[in-house]
Structure 1
Amino acid sequence: MTNQQEQAKTVALEALPLRDNLRGQFPYGAPQLEVTHLLNTNENTHPVPQVVADAIGKAVHTAATSLNRYPDREFTELRQRLAAYLGHELTENNVWAANGSNEVLQQVLQAFGGPGRKVLSFPPTYSMYPLLASGTNTEYISGVRADDFTLTPDEAARQVKDTAPDIVFLCSPNNPTGTALGLDVVEAVYQAGEQFNTIVVVDEAYEEFSLSGTKSALTLLQGRERLIVSRTMSKAFALAGARLGYLATSPQVTDALRLVRLPYHLSAITQAAANAALEHVDVLLATVDEIKAQRDRIVHELEEMGLKPAVSDSNFVFFGWFEDAHAVWQGLLDRGVLIRDVGIPHHLRVTAGTAEETTAFLVALREVISA
């Protein structure tokens, strides 16, 4: 699309009675380009194992015979399977799911945010948070991290007390920096929010890739009825195309989400695919260790190049320092490798893919740096 076409499109959009807080906004989306090595959206680049694909195909085929009927509105079997996967003595009453973790987070904002309410998060972090806030007319408050992008318990708690948010989003491992928060940060934020009845959401989309010793916020759920831990089947499970996100929390929070969910929001096809996949958890997660090995390889080789990669508990690596990060991004793209320019000066982010993809990225980066 040309610049002139883009301008005409913008003018046409602005002519509509759009809500004021949506004017001038841009939809979320990473570049979707045809390249040899696609390493910009943190997908699991390994294909779905054939045994899992076959099981999903069979389950979807069976579900297709009854598509004239609405699906199970409560997706009970799926919640039971997800609870069993998560463990920690959770039951289906603690679990909720939707079409991707973005819809899960949107439902949290619909239930607990809205006009006159505030959500606090700590950039640089997942760029969908302010967009979800805008879409639900919830005021978004940008918290502050240290210069090295870390967040201490005391500083996080202070900002909660200063801003009195209705919701706090904590991304751990954080996207785009990749590093997990200590559970002491989660505890401090939850305690600081007690006086405001604050809902605390820990977004653990990448938790399965965490370094040894990193603990999940699932361990904190007991006795904290306003704590939510969100997850996804898009990353470690290699099911980004299935669009299945979920969360664990107290039964009263899942009851609140029932008030805002659309009727039958999880299709019979989605439920069938997810249930079939969860029968093969070990097979689906077999690539996690290989991905972690490639991530650690990237970190090691970037350090050898004199660059500064962040500690990563995820399936991607955030790294710098570049005078012109976008020029490096373009140089990689010219060589068929698409990574992510996350808009943070001097830094880029790359997904840890297969061994072959990692090699292609590292070779191309060395060429770009040399040039």
Structure 2
Amino acid sequence: MSGSSNAATARPTLADLPLRPELVGEEPYGAPQLEVAVQLNVNENPYPPGPEVVADIAAAVATVAGRLNRYPDRDAWALREDLARYLGHGLTADQVWAANGSNEVMLQVLQAFGGPGRSALSFAPTYSMYPEYARDTHTRWLTAPRRADFTIDPQEAVAAVKEHAPDVVFVTSPNNPTGTAVALETLADICAAAPGVVVVDEAYVEFARTGTPSALALLPDFPRLAVSRTMSKAFAFAGGRLGYLAAAPAFVDALRIVRLPYHLSAVTQAVARVALAHADEMLAHVDLLRTERDQLATWLSEQGLEVAASDANFCLFGRFADRHRVWQALLDRDVLIRETGPDGWLRVSVGTHEEMATFTSALRQILDDPEISARKDAAR
């Protein structure tokens, strides 16, 4: 009896558990979740859905609630039809896949095309979750460098693809954490050189400057290309957790093989369809956020800071000899941004006009500190 009681209350540490060797010492991924007045660290759309959308979401949830004793459509066919219509480019439902955020989409890609003895390549700096997807699927992770301005040199990219012959290539456009878009010609060159599959991650594409083309235009020419997106950013739907991918039907079928049964709940499917039905309203603030982004980039440059050209809803800026000190000083002023990207750089999401005013006022105070200003100059 006493042994049973002890077992029920045992609290082992990670060191006491037979963790996979490559996970020893690792920390769970995630940006800090802190209660502060101005949260500009995870690239959310700061404008919530309007009352009409909220009412329709509530009605949709009420409708499916009466059927929650039944499993949802495991292939989310109606949702995929709606996503295909939203994307355009002549896409049909069998060319679209949906999952629990683009994170799950990427993990499924590596489950299907990566794995032991296989490799994935991307261009650094880029999204910090990619190597974790690779680790979790036993896929060897490789990177090739971007230029100093964070663009991708097409010749060097092709050379890296030919040298490493990766099974999966991830290209993020616009890139996270830099905001840099990749030229369509460069993407085509990478697709032509890649022996495996290529995934262009367009999580922030709705924020791209006018005239920036989407890799969706390349799908007819490259059967091993996939273009992934998310509803978390421009769609103001981060809490809905819906990511998706467009590709050839066979590519989608490969992801269906590895997906968990019923991976998208009936509630998720229903509310995502409501959001897509209200796409114009959900995306109504995108132009405003673009304007705020461009104004923010100009202001940061005027403070003597380096700013990466951004087609996303954030700006990467620096460089600081001690970026953590600047990050902490902002947090002390109730402003939370992200300490990520190359050493010396910080990333700030674009918020409302009022949030941007609070951020710029706080940062101006910090930059006026002679010691921090000297450290900023020393980092150049």
Is residue 116 of structure 2 the alignment partner of residue 115 of structure 1? yes
C-alpha contact 2:171 2:200 (8 A) present in aligned 1: yes
Counterpart in 2 of 1:61?
62
Q: Which amino acid aligns with 2:260?
A: L
Counterpart in 2 of 1:225?
223
Is residue 183 of structure 2 the alignment partner of residue 185 of structure 1? no
Q: Which amino acid aligns with 1:334?
A: D
Q: Bigger shift: 78-87 or 41-50?
A: 41-50
Counterpart in 1 of 2:206?
208
Is residue 164 of structure 2 the alignment partner of residue 166 of structure 1? no
What is the percentage of aligned positions where both structures have the same residue?
57
What root-mean-square deviation, in Å, do the aligned CA atoms of Structure 1 and Structure 2 show? Answer: 1.2
Query: Could you tell me how far apart the structure 1 residues matched to 2:70 and 2:201 are?
Result: 34
Matched residue count: 359
Query: Could you tell me how far apart the structure 2 residues matched to 1:168 and 1:212 are?
Result: 26
Match of 1:359 among 357, 360, 372: 357
1:192: how far off?
1.0
Instruction: After TM superposition, list the pairs within 5 Å mapping 1:1-371 onto structure 2.
Output: 12-193=13-194, 196=195, 198-371=196-369
Q: Bigger shift: 288-297 or 12-21?
A: 12-21
Query: Could you tell me how far apart the structure 2 residues matched to 1:367 and 1:67 are?
Result: 53
TM-score, structure 1 length as denominator? 0.95
**Partner-residue secondary structure (3-state), 2:244:** strand
1:343: how far off?
4.8
C-alpha contact 2:178 2:341 (8 A) present in aligned 1: no
- 1:202-260 alpha-carbon deviations (Å, 9 max, x no partner): 00000000011211100100131110000000000001001000000000001111110
Query: Could you tell me how far apart the structure 2 residues matched to 1:189 and 1:142 are?
Result: 14
Q: Which amino acid aligns with 2:164?
A: T
Query: Could you tell me how far apart the structure 1 residues matched to 2:301 and 2:187 are?
Result: 30
Q: Which amino acid aligns with 1:190?
A: C
**Partner-residue secondary structure (3-state), 1:286:** coil
C-alpha contact 2:125 2:341 (8 A) present in aligned 1: no
1:346: how far off?
1.5
Query: Could you tell me how far apart the structure 2 residues matched to 1:55 and 1:84 are?
Result: 20
Query: Could you tell me how far apart the structure 1 residues matched to 2:314 and 2:59 are?
Result: 33
Query: Could you tell me how far apart the structure 1 residues matched to 2:148 and 2:321 are?
Result: 17
1:356: how far off?
0.4
Query: Could you tell me how far apart the structure 1 residues matched to 2:23 and 2:98 are?
Result: 27
C-alpha contact 2:149 2:308 (8 A) present in aligned 1: no
1:143: how far off?
1.6
Query: Could you tell me how far apart the structure 2 residues matched to 1:79 and 1:149 are?
Result: 34
Runs of 5+ consecutive residues of structure 1 not aligned to the other structure: 1-9
Query: Could you tell me how far apart the structure 1 residues matched to 2:66 and 2:216 are?
Result: 37
Q: Which amino acid aligns with 1:345?
A: D
Query: Could you tell me how far apart the structure 2 residues matched to 1:343 and 1:288 are?
Result: 24
User: Which structure has the bigger radius of gyration?
Assistant: 2
**Partner-residue secondary structure (3-state), 2:44:** coil
1:11: how far off?
8.4
1:172: how far off?
0.6
**Partner-residue secondary structure (3-state), 1:122:** strand
**Partner-residue secondary structure (3-state), 1:274:** helix
Runs of 5+ consecutive residues of structure 2 not aligned to the other structure: 1-10, 370-380
Query: Could you tell me how far apart the structure 1 residues matched to 2:198 and 2:42 are?
Result: 26
Query: Could you tell me how far apart the structure 1 residues matched to 2:352 and 2:34 are?
Result: 19
Q: Which amino acid aligns with 1:332?
A: L
- 1:59-102 alpha-carbon deviations (Å, 9 max, x no partner): 01100000011111121110000000000000001100000000
Query: Could you tell me how far apart the structure 2 residues matched to 1:312 and 1:289 are?
Result: 14
Q: Which amino acid aligns with 1:97?
A: A
Query: Could you tell me how far apart the structure 1 residues matched to 2:86 and 2:124 are?
Result: 31
**Partner-residue secondary structure (3-state), 2:170:** strand
Q: Which amino acid aligns with 2:134?
A: A
Q: Which amino acid aligns with 1:333?
A: L
